[in-house]
């Protein structure tokens, strides 16, 4: 699927834009399911295990930030990850044995839908090595007006910046950190069916959606199977017993087989502790810990 030049670009810069990451039929089905979730949210009055609601959400005007764990809400979100051009990209970058960490369907609402403050995914879930990445499949066209993903190239090879605020792990860096160079950011836009790929250690964020359209992006966060999670990271898997963990790991196997010999590399790690008052989502983590905004008007 990927050319040698694309692989080299990803290795050097920590991100990639891949066109036609799903077939036309797959894209249409994913859209259908997504708009079905938005329609169903009209009856929801507060955030729950499926929906993160944005400010101003109502039955007449549904406003969501996210549908949580879409692969658990409908099996098609799991099927398309395992049987599409995305699958080939995953194996090209992480090898034959891969696992899903989590999924999320970000439905950033129009007219000011919530920003995601700058952060590194790696800060949330460090592992024994950094063969981890995230796919962002665009279900509708994404342009500069509706809050696209932004990344800072090369930062996947640098340090893990502090994500602390007010004594908590805030899930966001301090925009005044001298190592944060927003002027080097690259904005990732594209047509529906295109997919961003970003390394777990790269600095990234997204501004509010100021357009009149939802920004619909399906995210899958994936790992090579020999990258084992470190205890204390922010994942439900640490609350599972040994047997339940083994069963859960097999359920999350995307391609290949489980790897029982973790690969241990020298990688920079900061533990995401102590947890923020509300860890229900990245939005809740950043908000409840009082993270500073890089997007607020100054």
Domain ranges of the chain: 4-288
Which CATH architecture does the domain made up of 4-288 adopt?
Sandwich (2.60)
Residue 283: strand, helix, or coil: helix
Q: Which residues contact 126 (CB under 8 A, 6 or more apart)?
A: 160, 229, 230, 233, 267, 269, 270, 271, 272
Q: Which residues contact 270 (CB under 8 A, 6 or more apart)?
A: 123, 126, 160, 162, 163
Return the percentage of the chain with pLDDT > 70, whole number. Answer: 99
> 233-285, pLDDT tens digit by residue?
888 888 999 999 999 999 999 999 999 999 999 999 999 999 999 998 888 89
Length of the chain counted residue by residue: 298
**What pLDDT sits at residue 283?**
86
State the Cα–Cα distance between residues 61 and 57, nearest whole angstrom.
6
State the Cα–Cα distance between residues 203 and 13, nearest whole angstrom.
11
Return the percentage of the chain with pLDDT > 90, whole number. Answer: 85
pTM: 0.95
- Bond before 98 cis per omega within 30 degrees: no
**What pLDDT sits at residue 297?**
59
> 133-172, pLDDT tens digit by residue?
999 999 999 999 999 999 999 999 999 999 999 999 999 9
pLDDT at 33 over 70: yes
Radius of gyration of the chain (CA): 18
**What pLDDT sits at residue 298?**
44
């Amino acid at each position: 699927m990927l050319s040698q030049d694309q692989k080299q670009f990803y290795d050097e810069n920590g991100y990639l834009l891949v066109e036609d990451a799903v077939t036309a039929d797959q894209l249409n089905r994913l859209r259908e399911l997504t708009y079905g979730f938005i329609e169903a949210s009209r009856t929801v009055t507060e955030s729950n295990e499926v929906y993160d609601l944005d400010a101003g959400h109502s039955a007449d005007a549904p406003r969501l930030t996210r549908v949580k764990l879409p692969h658990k809400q409908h099996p098609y979100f799991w099927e398309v990850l395992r049987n599409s051009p995305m699958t080939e990209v995953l194996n090209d970058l992480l090898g034959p044995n891969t696992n899903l960490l989590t999924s999320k369907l970000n439905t950033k609402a129009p007219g000011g839908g919530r920003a995601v403050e700058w952060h590194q995914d790696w800060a949330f879930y460090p592992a024994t090595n950094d063969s981890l990445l995230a796919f962002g499949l665009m279900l509708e066209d994404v342009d500069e007006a509706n809050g696209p993903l932004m990344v800072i190239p090369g930062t996947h090879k640098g340090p893990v910046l502090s994500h602390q605020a007010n004594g908590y792990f805030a899930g966001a860096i301090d925009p005044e950190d001298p190592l944060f160079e927003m002027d080097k950011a690259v904005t990732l836009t594209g047509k529906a069916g295109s997919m961003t790929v970003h390394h777990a250690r790269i600095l990234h964020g997204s501004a509010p959606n100021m357009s009149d359209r939802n920004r619909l992006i399906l995210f899958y966060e994936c790992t090579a199977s020999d990258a084992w999670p470190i205890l204390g990271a922010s994942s439900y898997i640490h609350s599972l017993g040994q047997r339940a963990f083994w069963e859960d790991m097999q359920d999350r196997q995307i391609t290949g087989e489980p790897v029982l010999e973790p690969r241990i590399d020298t990688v920079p790690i900061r533990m995401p502790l102590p947890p923020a008052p509300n860890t229900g989502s990245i939005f809740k983590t950043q908000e409840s810990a009082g993270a500073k905004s890089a997007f607020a008007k100054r």
